Amino acid sequence: MYDILEIRKDFPVLDDVIYLDSAATTQTPVQVVSAVNNYFYKYAGNYGRGAHRLARETTNHYEDSRENVARFMNVDPSKTIMTKNATESINMVALGINWNLGDHIVTTSLEHHTDLLPWMRLKEKGVDMTVVPPDENGIINPDEIASSITDGTRLVAVTHVSNVFGSVQDIGEITRITHKAGVMVLIDGAQSLGHIPVDVGSIGCDFFAASGHKGLLGPQGTGLLYVREPEIMEPSYFGGGMVHSVTTTGFELEPCPTKFESGTPNMPGVIGLGRGVEYVQNVGVANIEKHEKSLVKNTASRLAEIPYVEVYGPDDRCGVVSFNITGLNSHDVAMILDETSSVCVRSGYHCAMPALQSIGVEGTVRASVGLYNTQEEIDTFIDAVSQITSLVG
């Protein structure tokens, strides 16, 4: 049984606010905070360096976390790179591949800027880009991806779940048709991992990037990158901790993932992330999906019944409901919701300007849920929106 009251005990901050901004970052359960505290109080050492007990214990916990994260995605831990966020993960791919003049990338106008700007910057290297538009509900047609692939295409980069519409893309089909054309696929899983079951291993994509501080309930400053064939990428940073040997004239790198994690990593963050993944597994990601989908379905349909409210996105959505109130700026709506009802939502363009341009607006109010939100909280939120609309009526 989904015991929401038990879950909420693990998130003390929820006593004070109605938190509907989990798509930006989730609240952190006490178990994760304890794992981070334990690192500092009981065994803090540096990762992968040193023979003493603290360094060894830190390394063991760090590697256990990597293993948890990788197993959760059904992929090989040795191909799972710990990063500081999804943004770093995607930039590592953009910077790490040896691009050639005339190479081509296919992406979509649904993307978070994180899955757009790194590819746009490659224009300087002569890499061209085609941007496929979504339909009015934020869905990408895989056939449009297929027909955008040219002889020069090397990569298709697509978000799994839109952070604006909550629309879920058919990444299995997109990967299948892209691979059929001999092209690599990158999936931005920042809004899907931990919210819906994602079997990265079975999907077979070449790269899967995600944040640790969203659906996986890890601390901020954590993320991951899965790479199916690590040889395709060079590291973006060079220094300590990544080499097998160094002389004054050259160096030999360690294999993946070590060669991609130079410098002292975020040990407390990664260790906390491992605990966050365990938390998600204990609740069950299928249970989380069911709970969150029912909350957003209810939210969207009730918002749509309120006069002056326009809701965007498909009926079958994951985690997120975007809407506007006629005549009101989204930031003003967000401020009023906070001041009158302690409801925290995101407003503005959500780091996805082209996605908003596709529906002809500059910003939306975005309510996004986590495994800890209740139906009562949604009721309060809906009442608060209704009251605001009386300002425009």
Ligand X SMILES: Cc1ncc(COP(=O)(O)O)c(C=O)c1O
Q: Which of 256, 318, 344, 351 is catalytic?
A: 351
Contact 312, 164 (CB under 8 A): yes
Nearest-Å Rg of the Cα atoms of the chain is 22
Helix (H/G/I), strand (E/B), else coil: 30:
helix
β-strand partners of 105: 129, 155
Q: How far is the CB of 138 from ligand X (least distance, A)?
A: 12
Q: How far is the CB of 169 from ligand X (least distance, A)?
A: 11
Q: Which residues of this protein are in contact with ligand X, per CB under 6 A?
A: 24, 85-87, 112, 114-115, 159, 163, 188, 190-191, 211, 223
Question: In terms of C-beta density within 10 A (0-12 exposed, 13-18 middle, 19 or more buried), how is residue 303 classed?
Answer: buried
Provide φ and ψ at 239, rounded to 5°.
Answer: 165, -145
Contact 186, 155 (CB under 8 A): yes
Question: One-letter amino acid identity for 323?
Answer: F
Please give the distance of CA 44 from its chain centroid, rounded to a whole number: 28
Closest-CA residue to 357 (of 104, 91, 113, 189):
113
Please give the distance of CA 287 from its chain centroid, rounded to a whole number: 19
Q: How far is the CB of 180 from ligand X (least distance, A)?
A: 25
Q: How far is the CB of 368 from ligand X (least distance, A)?
A: 9
Ramachandran class of 237: left when φ > 0, alpha when ψ lies in -120 to 50, beta otherwise:
beta
| Closest to ligand X by CB, 285 or 309 | 285
| Closest to ligand X by CB, 159 or 322 | 159
| Closest to ligand X by CB, 35 or 224 | 224
| Closest to ligand X by CB, 216 or 388 | 216
Token pair belonging to 165: 């519409």
The counts of H helices and E strands in the chain are 13, 15
Q: How far is the CB of 111 from ligand X (least distance, A)?
A: 7
Closest-CA residue to 221 (of 363, 332, 89):
89
| Closest to ligand X by CB, 86 or 174 | 86
Q: What is the DSSP letter of 97?
A: B
| Closest to ligand X by CB, 65 or 341 | 65
351 is catalytic: yes
| Closest to ligand X by CB, 291 or 366 | 366
Token pair belonging to 368: 């996004």
Token pair belonging to 266: 């975020």
Q: How far is the CB of 44 from ligand X (least distance, A)?
A: 24
Report the distance separating Cα 341 and Cα 323, nearest Å: 18
Contact 71, 193 (CB under 8 A): no
Q: How far is the CB of 319 from ligand X (least distance, A)?
A: 10
Q: Which residues are catalytic?
A: 351
